[in-house]
Structure 1
Amino acid sequence: MNESMLRRLGWAVLVNSALMGQAAAQGDSDLDAILGPSESPTESTPPASAPATAEAAPAPAASEPAPAATAPQAAAAEPAAGEAAAPEAAASGPRTVKNRLTEEIVVTAEKREENLQEVPTSVSAFSGAALDAKGVADIKDLQLITPGLQYDSMASYSIIFIRGIGGDAFQAGVDSSVATYIDGLYLPFTFSAAQALGDVKQIEVLKGPQGSLYGRNAIAGAITIKLKEPTKDFAASVLAQYGNYNDAKTKISVSGPVPFTDQSLLYSASFVYQNRDSYTTNFFDPNEPDYHSYRNRGYRGALQWDPIDDMQFGVAFYDLKSQDPDSVATNLLTVAPLFKAVLTPNTEKNKSGNVSSIGVFARTRIFSAYAENKMSDYFDAKLIYGKTAANSTILFDYDSAPEPVLDISAVPNRANSESFELIFTSSAEATPDWLEYVGGFYYESTKKTGRYPATIDPLAYGLNIAGSAVLGSPPVLCQIYANIGGDCSANADTNKNILVNVPIYGGVANKAKSFYGQLTFHITEKFSVVAGGRASREDTKLLFAGVGVKLVIPQLGGGVLTTPQLNAIQYAPQQKTFQSFTPTVGLNYKLTDDILLYYKYSEAFKSGNYNGLNINNPPTRVEPELASSNELGFKSSLLEDRSLKLNGAAFLTTISNAQLQTLSLTSGGVTKLQNAGSYSVYGAEGEVNWFVTDALVLGLTGVYLKGTYNNFTGQGFNDLYLNQNNIDFSGKTTVRTPKFTGTASANYTFPFFFGLDAELAGDVYYTSGFYYTANNSLEQPSYYLLNARFGVYDPRSRVRVTLYGKNLNDDTYYTNAYRQDFGDTVIWANPRTYGVTVSWEYGN
């Protein structure tokens, strides 16, 4: 099959996939979503081995692989796509297989390209091939391979912590404490960010405050995701994955030059579809034990234009949809004393008593464009523009129990943002050898709104509580009421009572402007100094906030009558301007050519906000969150051939005016943000990657953390689960701060039968546990996860088949937990999963 035919096949497959996706959208009222698995395996090649010498090229850094084979070696080792290996190659001696983890990594943590081991800050970086080799198919899997990272989701909101610093709020107007970038574009939304990975080129996780270069809301760190660019030659890939829970995932992508453009205009397009059963089933309703399926669908298209050398333009569009019941399938683990006779707790793993309609239905659309100019003799410049629209509808059982006492939905949450960033970096040709710099200007305008209808049966609710309190359980008052034709169960299907629907709504807008810059002075060949900062101004406005009310009245002949909504309370808009300057200072010393020592002081700023979802209290302002951090670290390449990469850091981060969430109706709203006085987290981390041979890579990571609230008197729950003010949390351990977290991994590639290559990999992740609440009353116990993969790759056809298993020990843990009015609520994490992935690639 020649290249022309392959191009036609690629276009046909793409069009057919789009039509299939459209049909799925029309047939499914509920859903779809995003870029799919990041499983784009690279061809393993058998480079010739050479003895190590002092002049040999450096071995790879941790997560940063050994140098690729030279061009002659590669030509000799790699047959053309689709061709059989030459007989001479087979007869030349024992065949070796190069590990995919040895692919070289160049990072842009300081917004310019640098070797991972030369960057004076703590960064974990992974290529697309490395992510695939490590079994990372979703961005949330990053926490299993990244020291100090926690990545969970709740009701489509991403909950991200790095080194015990982060934010656990899940409401429309709240920003994340970790800045997330896709292809250089900042995503200002916490919801819809936890999507499956697409055709990923590289992911970097930057740890510690990144206020100078990565700006607003990077007090814990930043995550940058780079997707694959269009290619100058035609390329295509297909991936299919099948697993338990009827998991089926397909990804198709094509890339190449637009015809008749002489390779100056390039395109790429990809389509992803995934569907599986929910990990959770309904234990309370045997007639409807299944929740909605988990479903993703999305597509991405990109164009790149190179009109002349050193100038490039590009545009991309993403349309990502998702449907997820698992992130809202809650369980009432412990019932508050007042409701023990009313609500049913559940401690059985992956079971829930929520109504069958629960789920999250989200969509994110992103348009981005950039222009890059390297023609100037003095600097390189890049302009990035982005426009993002996201919405999510959340059907949520607030009380988390089978009894439908209180349901709260978000119908819908909406967020729109427009931004541009202009970046200047020093040019090597015109800048003195002793100086490097980067700087720029950033502007963003964002609007976020949310509407949360709360539905309650006041009669059944009151009778349950009154009957339990006065006459004991079962509530005799409910039995009497049922005997005269009433309904004390508040069952949504048989309810005969009048329901009260209370929509709570609010909206926040933000305009952010900032100038930033960073200079690196090379004082000597071994010693350098870094100085930088960011000046920011943010205008934050509470656009509207209020509470409505309407009645839902069952009719004798069936159906219901809904009264018009009455806007019972309307709060006045508010506005506040926040300004900040966040500096960065660093000292770097090359002890030897293979050992870098560094010290870094950095600050970051998280925007102030408003509590826009209020029932009985006027909206209150939330002050900006400030972070300051000291980090002392080293990066080293040890052994004679520099194959042992040992990196480590010790750090202390202090947060002032920390923004913490309380989930309680009696707090004045559905959820409420409050400022903690301050807290500190100190700790140390280490990462070892040993490239034993070109085929065997061993890894070991460990992070120790100690977090304490220094001065925090605020709102929370007492022992009776009643929300109250002026609780002193000082001296308590900070939330989501495990004392120890670590991962041990091994990846081995070797020749298999019939000219095939094999890859055997496994890892063990362990955490000592942590607290979810500031008063340390709700705890995640320690747990470990065992993951393994075995794959076979045909270098001639470039087909890879991989068997995988995650959480093979089937340990029990939570993706989220919180305390609310009715008790302690948890969401169970994924059980044991396993399956097979088949992929094929053509071209580069």
Structure 2
Amino acid sequence: MPALAQSPDAPAEALPTIPVAGEPAAAPSTAAPREESGALAEVIVTARKREERLQDVPVSVQAFSSEQLDARGVQSIRDLAEAVPGMQVTDLGGYNLIYLRGVGTDVFIPSAEPSIATYVDGVYFPSGHSLAQAFGAVERVEVLKGPQGTLFGRNSTGGAVSVWSKNPGQTPETSVQLSYGNYKDAQARVYTNLPLSNALAVSLSGFYNRRDSYYRVDNGSNEQLPPEIGRGGRLKIGVEFSEDLNLVVTGIYARQSGTSTTVSANVNPTPLLGITLPAEIRDYVTTANSEPSLSTITRALYGQLNWHLSGVDTKLLGSYYFVKAFDYVYDFDGTSQPIATYGADDEYQRFVTSELQFTSNADSWGSSWLKWVGGLYYLRSDGGYKPGYLRLLDAVQLPTTEQIGALPLGLGDLVLSLLGNSPIPQDLTFYFTGLLKTEAYSGYAQATASLTSWLDLTLGGRWQRESRKLVTSDVSDGNLNGGLTRLYSFPQEESTARNFSPKVSLDWRPAQDLLIYASFQQGFKSGTYNIINIFKAPTYVEPEKVTAYEVGLKSEWFNHSLRFNTALFENDIHNLQTGFMSFTSGGAINLENAGKARIRGLEVEALWQPLPELDPGLLLGGNLSWLHAVYLDYDDGRGFGELTGLAYKSDCSNPGSPACHPFSGNQIVRTPKLSSTLTLSQSFELGQGTLELAGDWYTNSGYYYLAQNTPDTFEPAYQIFNAHLSYLYQPYGLKLTVYGDNLGDERYNLAQFHTDFGREDSLAPPRTWGLRLNWDF
């Protein structure tokens, strides 16, 4: 069935481009299988929208199969950070903030979309709240490093993460996973594939996760934090209309509730606030008076119509994606005092996309030396807050109309007349309604020509036009009548940006199993508006552009028992988009451009089977990333004064003035200079099964959370050690695993949140352990 498993006439290399796809089932390589006893497993990736061996792709990619993800306990994008050096995933207010090779986004609002494009089955999932953060049952995950502007389009200036699930097929199969660990961590996952006829197949997957919070509340209220609960499902339907025409349709629904990183503790109050409030020094204890919470709902529907013709494969793609966050409460000051609370009653994003794609196949002209892909793409989206809020001084109750009217000497009548007889505010709560609409068009093409048997040239480019419109930006307060009184509205704003992102790559194969490549490419991140505006009008944030240069080597040695890959690169960033959280500088969140930045780095990856004959089950692996990431031109940024803790905006028009606080030369936020992973696994046959013992060690040199690079904004170096022991009983397809994560019980943060009130920390999970059962039949 071509829709479900590729037909002999369909090229195995033809794969969909964004935004949607039912990806063809991973086909085996067309090359002869290796027979050497020391051969490492082949890895098939789709970094160039074609199925290719990882070692044949002139792009920096790390790929993980479903078995590798399970073995390492990777359940979400957040967990990938320990497996991919150079990738940093922090969390803030329930948003996953992803940095890759020093490029990322540090703002947690819908209008500041990530710089690392995330896809599930080719569908663009741009929200940090979305289902893309929880993988469920998948076939593989690919992490593409560096700008991917030509094939992946907008908002991929740092790279892309592609999550692929299985397509329905003609082979019935079912997979069940159950696990239980400390903190009452219970997880269940099921996947099944059902062929209903020769022309119709259906697959269904679902998951349910529940875990108690790592934190406890100590604010005198006897409250308990809710558990983290996630559940969802995915339905895929594959239909074959003819040998050359087929359709795959997918529906996804997921819901998450709990606290995520809305729970935190103020560990370093500002000098003014610290006079009356002590720092919280206890691990996993919060004194927040506003009970933290966050719930999200994700819905997606997407489809791919495939039409195989002689000389070209045509795909028609379409998707609808919606994510909503509600019951969103974050204690903005992080203390037991009722000072400030940030939240949202309705925060959402909605995307509609379509694409027409053309791909060369085996019957195309020049197919022996030329491969190409191209298409047209359209996106429409809207999203924002309806509304969000910032509440100050919870305990302060403003006087009622009757109380004001009762003031003596006619003062009450005077005050009421000055207020224009409008409803009296109930408290000091500011409600902000900010909605942003986007419309984007693009066209793209990329071709690879084999100039000789050992030299390939790739040329590509993507042109795009995007318009952003701030349709609503209102500020209101809650009145005693139970409604909202609009205080003022900021004017609507609209902007249009055009961009062309080129790519050039030269691939040289001087010997078998040796690839040397050099590439030049650019990426484009959309300009936008801040949709949280309380005291100042929104301004347009210019698009971010990244120009990347890279040289790399991919190789295998010693009868395919050693795989060694390395890359040396430079990213030049213009108009780096960055954020700053402060109540006193215009509202809860500021969004601005940081001028120019530069990132230079080196990556090394190795996988070694040291004793292929004596001990073929022994594998050693290692990855390393070194980054030198600095701001080159950032003299007008925002920071907090070390003596007062109050926010400032640097003004270096007079370089010698006290108002000048240049950040040029400082290290880019959320970017460690050094991160590395070492892995070791030993497996051997035991009875009718296989026993495996494995461990991995991750180290991070530390990084800053604010561009001002002061000591209190630094996350110190930390190390994490994970291990597992598993036994696979072959006759029944049963695998039992005992696992332990963060066995050293290391203390490090998923988030530092710096505000006018101090530094709030959200700690990463402590030592966790459990038992996991997999059953495949």
Band the TM-score falls in, shorter-chain normalisation: 0.7 to 0.9
2:79 partner amino acid: D
Q: Does 1:443 align with 2:378?
A: yes
Q: Does 1:773 align with 2:723?
A: no
| Residue in structure 1 matched with residue 50 of structure 2 by the alignment | 112
Within a 5 Å distance, the mapping from 1:801-812 to structure 2 comes to 801-812=736-747
Q: Does 1:721 align with 2:654?
A: no
1:210 to 148, 166, 183: 148
1:509·1:540 contact (CA, 8 Å) conserved in 2?
A: yes
Structure 1: runs of 5 or more not aligned = 1-54, 67-101, 463-496, 552-560
1:153-203, CA deviations, whole angstroms, 9 ceiling, x for partnerless residues? Answer: 323322101011111110122110011111111123232255322111011
2:563 to 641, 645, 652: 645
| Residue in structure 2 matched with residue 695 of structure 1 by the alignment | 617
2:627 partner amino acid: L
Aligned mates of 1:677, 1:252 — CA distance in 2: 48
Within a 5 Å distance, the mapping from 1:140-159 to structure 2 comes to 140-159=78-97
Aligned mates of 1:524, 1:396 — CA distance in 2: 60
| CA deviation after TM superposition for structure 1 residue 562, in Å | 5.4
Q: Does 1:171 align with 2:112?
A: no
Secondary structure (helix, strand or coil) at the match of 2:80 reads: helix
| Residue in structure 2 matched with residue 384 of structure 1 by the alignment | 317
| CA deviation after TM superposition for structure 1 residue 423, in Å | 2.1
| CA deviation after TM superposition for structure 1 residue 414, in Å | 0.9
| Residue in structure 1 matched with residue 413 of structure 2 by the alignment | none
Secondary structure (helix, strand or coil) at the match of 1:250 reads: strand
| Residue in structure 2 matched with residue 796 of structure 1 by the alignment | 731
Within a 5 Å distance, the mapping from 1:14-413 to structure 2 comes to 57=34, 66=39, 103-193=41-131, 195-258=133-196, 261=197, 263-285=198-220, 287-288=222-223, 290-355=224-289, 357-374=291-308, 376-393=309-326, 394-413=328-347
Q: Does 1:712 align with 2:630?
A: no
1:103·1:127 contact (CA, 8 Å) conserved in 2?
A: no
| CA deviation after TM superposition for structure 1 residue 454, in Å | 1.7
1:711 partner amino acid: D
| CA deviation after TM superposition for structure 1 residue 459, in Å | 7.4
Task: Name whichever of 363-372 and 352-361 sits farther off.
Answer: 352-361
| CA deviation after TM superposition for structure 1 residue 619, in Å | 1.0
| CA deviation after TM superposition for structure 1 residue 756, in Å | 2.8
Q: Does 1:584 align with 2:506?
A: no
| Residue in structure 1 matched with residue 590 of structure 2 by the alignment | 672
Aligned mates of 1:501, 1:574 — CA distance in 2: 25
CA distance change for structure 1 residues 298 and 722 in 2, over 3 Å: closer, same or farther? same
Structure 2: runs of 5 or more not aligned = 1-31, 399-424, 651-660
Secondary structure (helix, strand or coil) at the match of 1:545 reads: strand
1:663·1:670 contact (CA, 8 Å) conserved in 2?
A: yes
Secondary structure (helix, strand or coil) at the match of 2:69 reads: helix
Aligned mates of 2:35, 2:252 — CA distance in 1: 38
Q: Does 1:455 align with 2:391?
A: yes
Aligned mates of 1:461, 1:681 — CA distance in 2: 51
Secondary structure (helix, strand or coil) at the match of 1:249 reads: strand
Aligned mates of 1:461, 1:734 — CA distance in 2: 43
Q: Does 1:573 align with 2:492?
A: yes
Aligned mates of 2:547, 2:281 — CA distance in 1: 40
2:162 partner amino acid: T
2:192 partner amino acid: V
Q: Does 1:608 align with 2:546?
A: no
| CA deviation after TM superposition for structure 1 residue 807, in Å | 0.2
2:391 partner amino acid: T
Aligned mates of 1:150, 1:292 — CA distance in 2: 27
Aligned mates of 1:689, 1:116 — CA distance in 2: 13
Aligned mates of 1:796, 1:664 — CA distance in 2: 60
1:650 partner amino acid: L
1:813 to 732, 735, 748: 748
1:558-592, CA deviations, whole angstroms, 9 ceiling, x for partnerless residues? Answer: xxx55532100111111100100111111110021
Aligned mates of 2:176, 2:140 — CA distance in 1: 19
1:294·1:323 contact (CA, 8 Å) conserved in 2?
A: yes
1:344·1:403 contact (CA, 8 Å) conserved in 2?
A: no
1:733 partner amino acid: Q
Task: Name whichever of 725-734 and 566-575 sits farther off.
Answer: 725-734
| CA deviation after TM superposition for structure 1 residue 213, in Å | 0.6
Aligned mates of 1:195, 1:656 — CA distance in 2: 28
2:291·2:331 contact (CA, 8 Å) conserved in 1?
A: no
TM-score (norm 2): 0.87
| Residue in structure 2 matched with residue 42 of structure 1 by the alignment | none
- Aligned-residue RMSD, C-alpha: 1.9
| Residue in structure 2 matched with residue 557 of structure 1 by the alignment | none
CA distance change for structure 1 residues 331 and 304 in 2, over 3 Å: closer, same or farther? same
Aligned mates of 1:517, 1:58 — CA distance in 2: 38
| CA deviation after TM superposition for structure 1 residue 460, in Å | 5.9
1:227-256, CA deviations, whole angstroms, 9 ceiling, x for partnerless residues? Answer: 111131221122111000001111122211
| Residue in structure 1 matched with residue 470 of structure 2 by the alignment | 542
1:708 partner amino acid: V
1:177·1:220 contact (CA, 8 Å) conserved in 2?
A: yes
| Residue in structure 2 matched with residue 532 of structure 1 by the alignment | 460
| CA deviation after TM superposition for structure 1 residue 58, in Å | 7.3
CA distance change for structure 1 residues 280 and 652 in 2, over 3 Å: closer, same or farther? same
| CA deviation after TM superposition for structure 1 residue 385, in Å | 0.9
| CA deviation after TM superposition for structure 1 residue 421, in Å | 2.0
Secondary structure (helix, strand or coil) at the match of 1:360 reads: strand
CA distance change for structure 1 residues 435 and 756 in 2, over 3 Å: closer, same or farther? closer
TM-score (norm 1): 0.81
Aligned mates of 1:658, 1:763 — CA distance in 2: 34
1:138·1:197 contact (CA, 8 Å) conserved in 2?
A: yes
2:131·2:254 contact (CA, 8 Å) conserved in 1?
A: no
1:431-459, CA deviations, whole angstroms, 9 ceiling, x for partnerless residues? Answer: 31221111111111010111222222277
2:185 partner amino acid: D
Q: Does 1:734 align with 2:657?
A: no
| CA deviation after TM superposition for structure 1 residue 56, in Å | 7.6
| CA deviation after TM superposition for structure 1 residue 138, in Å | 2.5
1:721 partner amino acid: G
Secondary structure (helix, strand or coil) at the match of 2:78 reads: helix
Aligned mates of 1:764, 1:431 — CA distance in 2: 50
| Residue in structure 2 matched with residue 757 of structure 1 by the alignment | 690
CA distance change for structure 1 residues 737 and 195 in 2, over 3 Å: closer, same or farther? closer
2:384 partner amino acid: T
1:654·1:680 contact (CA, 8 Å) conserved in 2?
A: yes
1:709·1:733 contact (CA, 8 Å) conserved in 2?
A: yes
Aligned mates of 2:180, 2:519 — CA distance in 1: 46
1:697·1:747 contact (CA, 8 Å) conserved in 2?
A: yes
1:751·1:758 contact (CA, 8 Å) conserved in 2?
A: yes
Aligned mates of 2:395, 2:166 — CA distance in 1: 58
Aligned mates of 1:253, 1:114 — CA distance in 2: 26
1:300-338, CA deviations, whole angstroms, 9 ceiling, x for partnerless residues? Answer: 111001222233211111101001313111111211111
Q: Kindly, what percent of the aligned residue pairs are identical?
A: 33
CA distance change for structure 1 residues 459 and 139 in 2, over 3 Å: closer, same or farther? closer
2:578·2:592 contact (CA, 8 Å) conserved in 1?
A: yes
Secondary structure (helix, strand or coil) at the match of 1:796 reads: helix
